[in-house]
C-alpha cells in the first residue's frame, strides 16, 4: 500500500475546484459581453435603462429614441461592459496563475469549459432576475410578449448552469503538475 508523503501533499493543487473561480469569472464576463453585444448593440432590443418607464425602483425614464435617452443608455451600457471586462480580466488573471503552473494545457480541460458555462448561466440568472423582473429596468425584447422573452432568458441561464455542471462534473480534474488530467480522477 502506497503512502503519501508530506512533500507530495504540499505540491500543486489538483482538486476539482482549481478551475472553478477562473471558469465562473470568465463565464460571467463572456456571458455579459454576449448580452451586451448581441442584445444591446446588434439586435438593439434593449439597453440598460430602456424599460425604466415600467421599472419597480423609480429610475428616470430614458427612451432610446431620444438623443438624451440614448446618451444615458449608452453610458450605462458602457458601465455594464466595464464590469464584464473586469470579470474577464480577473478570470484570465486567475486562470494565468493556474496555467503557468500547469504548462498551459488548461485550455483543453473540460473542467474549465464546464465552469465557464456555469458562470455564463449564473450571469443570465442574476441579470435576468434583477434587471428584468425585480428592478424592471429593461426586458430582453420589450412588448406584449416580453415576459416570455424574459423567462426564456432565465431558462437559457438555467440550462447553461446545468450543462456546465454536468460537463465539469464528468471531466477529469486538471493536474497543474503534469499539465494534463489527474490520473484516475473520473471519466474524460
> What mean pLDDT do residues 178-185 have?
61
What is the total count of domains within the chain? 1
At 139, list the grid cell. Answer: 426586458
Query: How much is the pLDDT for 178?
Result: 63
Q: Does residue 145 fall inside a structural domain?
A: yes
Half-sphere exposure of 146 toward its Cβ, with a 13 Å CA cutoff? Answer: 18
Whole-number average pLDDT of the chain: 86
Q: Give the integer Cα–Cα distance in Å for 109 and 123.
A: 22
Q: Does residue 1 fall inside a structural domain?
A: no
Q: Does residue 32 fall inside a structural domain?
A: yes
Q: Does residue 186 fall inside a structural domain?
A: no
Task: Tell if the pTM clears 0.85, that is, is over it.
Answer: no
From first CA to last CA, the distance across the chain in angstroms is: 26
Q: 43-60 pLDDT, tens per residue?
A: 999 999 999 999 999 999
Residue with more model confidence, 1 or 118: 118
Q: Which of 159, 137, 32, 47 is nearest to 86 (CA)?
A: 32
Q: Which domain holds residue 88?
A: 16-181
Q: Give the integer Cα–Cα distance in Å for 188 and 181.
A: 8
Of 96-100, 140-144, 155-159, 174-178, the one with minimum mean pLDDT is 174-178
Q: Give the integer Cα–Cα distance in Å for 38 and 179.
A: 35
Asked if the model's pLDDT at residue 1 lies above 70, the reply is: no
Q: Does residue 8 fall inside a structural domain?
A: no
Q: Which of 155, 160, 164, 188 is nearest to 174 (CA)?
A: 188
In DSSP terms, 181 is beta-bridged to: 174
Asked if the model's pLDDT at residue 27 lies above 50, the reply is: yes
Amino acid at each position: 500500500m502506497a503512502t503519501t508523503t508530506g512533500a507530495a501533499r504540499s505540491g500543486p493543487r489538483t482538486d476539482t475546484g482549481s478551475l472553478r473561480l477562473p471558469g465562473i469569472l470568465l463565464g460571467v464576463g463572456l456571458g455579459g459581453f454576449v448580452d451586451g453585444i448581441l442584445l444591446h448593440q446588434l439586435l438593439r432590443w434593449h439597453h440598460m435603462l430602456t424599460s425604466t418607464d415600467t421599472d419597480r425602483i423609480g429610475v428616470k425614464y430614458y427612451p432610446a429614441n431620444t438623443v438624451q435617452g440614448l446618451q444615458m443608455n449608452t453610458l450605462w451600457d458602457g458601465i455594464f461592459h466595464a464590469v464584464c471586462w473586469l470579470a474577464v480580466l480577473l478570470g484570465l488573471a486567475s486562470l494565468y496563475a493556474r496555467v503557468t503552473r500547469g504548462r498551459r494545457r488548461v485550455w483543453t480541460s473540460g473542467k474549465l469549459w464546464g465552469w465557464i458555462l456555469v458562470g455564463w448561466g449564473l450571469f443570465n440568472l442574476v441579470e435576468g432576475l434583477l434587471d428584468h423582473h425585480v428592478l424592471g429596468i429593461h426586458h430582453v425584447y420589450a412588448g406584449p410578449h416580453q415576459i416570455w422573452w424574459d423567462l426564456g432568458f432565465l431558462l437559457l441561464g438555467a440550462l447553461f448552469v446545468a450543462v456546465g455542471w454536468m460537463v465539469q462534473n464528468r471531466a477529469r480534474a486538471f493536474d497543474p503538475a503534469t499539465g494534463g488530467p489527474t490520473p484516475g480522477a473520473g471519466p474524460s
